[in-house]
């Protein structure tokens, strides 16, 4: 029986949850026990916060280093279990874990802290500001409650680490798809520093159990939550009005390709942006605008992309596909040609689909490796095409010559989004990127100035 929770030094009755053919043991907890657990985490945080931030960074980096070793027992178990639990192929799981833990180095963690705080030591003591005699100190909330998603493998690990970097205790509600991974990583931290581990709880309860969620929110000093717009709205009503929060709702991404950039090599990079996480995340592209007037047309690029997706499917096979996504994809495959569009598709099933349509109107894709390619006369017209989704834009991938890039980037950044990056890197953001336009650590902190 594989344990799908992390509760250090706490014993409780268990229930069995079967996910992807694996039996996972979950704790049987009630709201009053969650309340008592929260109190214990807050007490543990007082001790944990006494550690130097540099020591905490070392502990996290050591745990991540273990996971970079593909022969590490926990890493091997994760690679064995996750494909059936989260629905990604084993090849994709291996690549995602590599990407995740390769960025969690001591250097990158310190860089994240320095980028946001300047002087990292203000998490340990009052430090003199650059100008004047005022000294400043930063404090994280005693307890952060986190409701985490299951569509992008590894989000729970990053979110937990950010909570630890501000010296907070963290109570995580993790999805069934990711609960085992997060549990294993917490066990790695426990092996390195039992003191840190005492300030972590990793749990899973049904979203319908609002009493559990509400109890967690009532005890928390800060709430981080992911979900659909509907689930975010429902959670809002459970969070005390005076509790600070960061809420991540539905977002989407797209790409822009200048006429000079159209090539088979670029199609290979686009294919990777589409395929990573099987196109399930907020950084997953829905559509690429291809500028007309070059040596190759948008339709030519769609053909190149179809070939690239086919080749990539042999290296990174698609995992399980949601029936609703597959149904929408099949419907588009059938109806688009009747409207003057062109469809390029995988021979078997809905492994991948490229939908070419001359109309530049923005259209969301069903995802699951299904992508729109649309033609636009000039890149300057793109901002006006994005008005309908301007509040939902997360990332914009670009392939634009340097001589033209500044003006286009300035124009599209005014519409929305929080990340503009080269095509091929859309789903591989740096650790210090501004998620939903916010810093990762600063919103969690309270600053005190000593004059």
Residue 81 has pLDDT above 90, yes or no: yes
What is the C-alpha separation between 56 and 230, in angstroms, rounded?
A: 36
Residue 153 has pLDDT above 90, yes or no: yes
For position 94, what pLDDT does the model report? 97
Higher pLDDT, 260 or 1: 260
The average confidence (pLDDT) of the chain is 95
Residue 207 has pLDDT above 90, yes or no: no
The pLDDT > 70 percentage for the chain reads 100
For position 386, what pLDDT does the model report? 93
For position 202, what pLDDT does the model report? 97
For position 144, what pLDDT does the model report? 98
Helices (H) and strands (E) in the chain, counts: 15, 18
The DSSP H or E segment spanning 270 is: helix 264-275
For position 2, what pLDDT does the model report? 84
How far from the centroid of its chain's Cα atoms is residue 383's Cα? 26
For position 411, what pLDDT does the model report? 94
pLDDT tens for 210-242 read: 999 999 999 999 999 999 999 999 999 999 999
Residue 10 has pLDDT above 90, yes or no: no
Higher pLDDT, 57 or 391: 57
For position 419, what pLDDT does the model report? 96
Q: Classify residue 317 by burial, with Cβ atoms within 10 Å: 0-12, 13-18, 19+.
A: middle
For position 132, what pLDDT does the model report? 80
For position 316, what pLDDT does the model report? 97
Could you give all domains of the chain from N- to C-terminal order, each with its CATH number? Answer: 30-250 (3.40.605.10), 252-422 (3.40.309.10)
Q: How confident is the model at residue 424 (pLDDT cuts 50, 70, 90)?
A: very high
What is the C-alpha separation between 374 and 360, in angstroms, rounded?
A: 6
Q: How confident is the model at residue 358 (pLDDT cuts 50, 70, 90)?
A: confident
What is the C-alpha separation between 224 and 247, in angstroms, rounded?
A: 6
Region 299-326: mean pLDDT is 96
Judge whether 408 and 380 are in contact, CB under 8 Å: yes
What is the C-alpha separation between 377 and 358, in angstroms, rounded?
A: 10
Q: How confident is the model at residue 8 (pLDDT cuts 50, 70, 90)?
A: confident
Q: How far apart are the first and last CA of the chain?
A: 56
DSSP string, 181-227: HHHHHHHHHHHH-HHHHTTEEEE---TT-HHHHHHHHHH-SEEEEE-
Q: State the alpha helices, DSSP H only, in 316-373.
A: 323-335
Q: How many residues does the chain have?
A: 451
The pLDDT > 90 percentage for the chain reads 90
Region 409-414: mean pLDDT is 94
């Amino acid at each position: 029986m594989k344990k799908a929770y992390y509760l250090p030094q706490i014993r409780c009755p268990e229930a069995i949850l079967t996910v992807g053919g694996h039996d996972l043991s979950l704790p049987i907890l009630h709201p009053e026990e969650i309340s008592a657990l929260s109190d214990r985490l807050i007490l543990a945080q007082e001790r944990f916060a006494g550690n130097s931030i540099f020591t905490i960074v070392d502990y996290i980096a050591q745990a991540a280093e273990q996971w970079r070793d593909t022969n590490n027992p926990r890493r091997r178990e994760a690679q064995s279990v996750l494909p059936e639990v989260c629905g990604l192929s084993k090849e994709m799981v291996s690549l995602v874990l590599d990407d995740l833990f390769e960025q969690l180095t001591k250097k990158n963690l310190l860089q994240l802290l320095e980028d946001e705080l300047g002087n990292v030591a203000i998490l340990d003591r009052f430090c003199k500001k650059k100008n004047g005699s005022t000294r400043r100190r930063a404090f994280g909330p005693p307890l952060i409650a986190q409701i985490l998603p299951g569509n992008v493998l590894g989000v729970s690990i990053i979110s937990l680490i950010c909570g630890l970097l501000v010296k907070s205790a963290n109570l995580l509600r993790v999805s069934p798809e990711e609960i085992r991974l997060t549990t294993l990583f917490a066990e790695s931290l426990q092996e390195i520093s039992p003191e840190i581990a005492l300030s972590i709880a990793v749990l899973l309860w049904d979203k319908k159990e609002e009493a559990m969620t509400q109890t967690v929110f009532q005890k928390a000093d800060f709430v981080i939550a992911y979900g659909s717009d509907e689930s975010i709205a429902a959670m809002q009503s459970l969070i005390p009005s005076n509790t600070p929060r960061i809420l991540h709702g539905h977002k989407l991404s797209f790409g822009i390709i200048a006429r000079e950039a159209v090539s088979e090599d670029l199609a290979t990079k686009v294919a990777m942006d589409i395929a990573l996480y099987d196109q399930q995340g907020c950084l997953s592209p829905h559509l690429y605008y291809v500028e007309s007037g070059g040596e190759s047309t948008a339709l030519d690029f769609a053909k190149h992309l179809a070939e690239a997706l086919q080749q990539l499917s042999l290296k990174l096979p698609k995992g399980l596909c949601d029936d609703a996504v597959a149904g929408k994809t099949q419907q588009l495959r059938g109806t688009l040609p009747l409207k003057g569009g062109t469809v390029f598709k995988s021979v078997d099933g809905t492994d991948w689909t490229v939908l070419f349509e001359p109309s530049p109107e923005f259209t969301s894709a069903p995802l699951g490796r299904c992508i729109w390619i649309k033609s636009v006369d000039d890149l300057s017209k793109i901002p006006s095409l994005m008005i309908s989704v301007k509040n939902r834009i997360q990332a914009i991938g670009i392939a634009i010559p340097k001589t033209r890039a500044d003006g286009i980037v300035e124009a599209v950044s005014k519409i929305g989004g929080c990340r503009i990056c080269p095509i091929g890197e859309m789903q591989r953001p740096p650790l210090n990127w501004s998620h939903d336009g916010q810093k990762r650590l600063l919103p969690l902190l309270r600053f005190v100035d000593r004059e």
